A and B are shown apart, each in its own frame.
Chain A
Amino acid sequence: QKEVEQDPGPLSVPEGAIVSLNCTYSNSAFQYFMWYRQYSRKGPELLMYTYSSGNKEDGRFTAQVDKSSKYISLFIRDSQPSDSATYLCAINAGGTSYGKLTFGQGTILTVHP
């Protein structure tokens, strides 16, 4: 079993839809939770960063963490064609492993006009 599981999709939605992306993880030591967006042939760019259970909102994006269920989510409201990309969840255990991010497989999202 992988430490971080993410449904690869692909996910196709119409413009304006609400998108829900999810990851589960197995290691309860994980403390820091991130969502990255990666366009084709580019490096990942950070969208959201959180270290506690609950919700964090930034514009059209909301990150949700449930440590008791080891489940993290990213919601995109009013999705736009420019949101079409691969979305990667990334988790950091902190402590002595603080330099290492463990990524999910990535979910390919297409928002069509």
Chain B
Amino acid sequence: GAGVSQTPSNKVTEKGKYVELRCDPISGHTALYWYRQSLGQGPEFLIYFQGTGAADDSGLPNDRFFAVRPEGSVSTLKIQRTERGDSAVYLCASSQQGMADTQYFGPGTRLTVL
């Protein structure tokens, strides 16, 4: 079956602009996660959704970052007033129920802020 998909695969923007990154989880997965991976580093947790609600947003670095999942399926990560330090690969993952079950990752969106 289809895995986790993310769009766009690449996004180049200018400092100060607003961007939206989209994640389509595996069908039927109730839990959805966002991570950020900088070059040469492991993924860093941002936020976790169980259904429509954010169960843990402790990894969001500041209030420029916001994520939604209004219908419990597709999620959008929104970044306002982008900064060059936001440049990274943004990974989305989903899992069947949450808890400590297996997280399946998408290919990521490579964000470059000029």
Contacts and interface: CB of A to CB of B under 8 A. Distances in A.
Contact of B59 (A6, A32, A98, A100): A100
Interface residues of A, number: 28
Contact of B104 (A46, A92, A97, A106): A46
A46 B103 contact: yes
A99 B56 contact: yes
Given A45-B105, A94-B100, A99 B31 contact: yes
A43 B42 contact: no
B55 to A, nearest CB: 6
Given A103-B42, A106-B42, A49 B55 contact: no
A32 B100 contact: yes
Nearest to B107: A43
Nearest to A51: B100
B66 interface: no
Interface residues of B, number: 29
A49 B93 CA distance: 16
A43 B108 contact: yes
Interface in A62-102: 88, 90, 92, 94, 97-102
A49 B104 CA distance: 13
B65 to A, nearest CB: 16
A25 to B, nearest CB: 13
Contacts of B107: 41-43
Contacts of B67: none
Given A46-B102, A99-B98, A106-B40, 4 more contacts: A31-B100, A42-B108, A94-B100, A97-B56
14 contacts: A4-B42, A42-B107, A43-B4, A46-B103, A51-B100, A88-B43, A90-B42, A94-B100, A101-B33, A101-B43, A101-B103, A103-B42, A105-B42, A106-B40
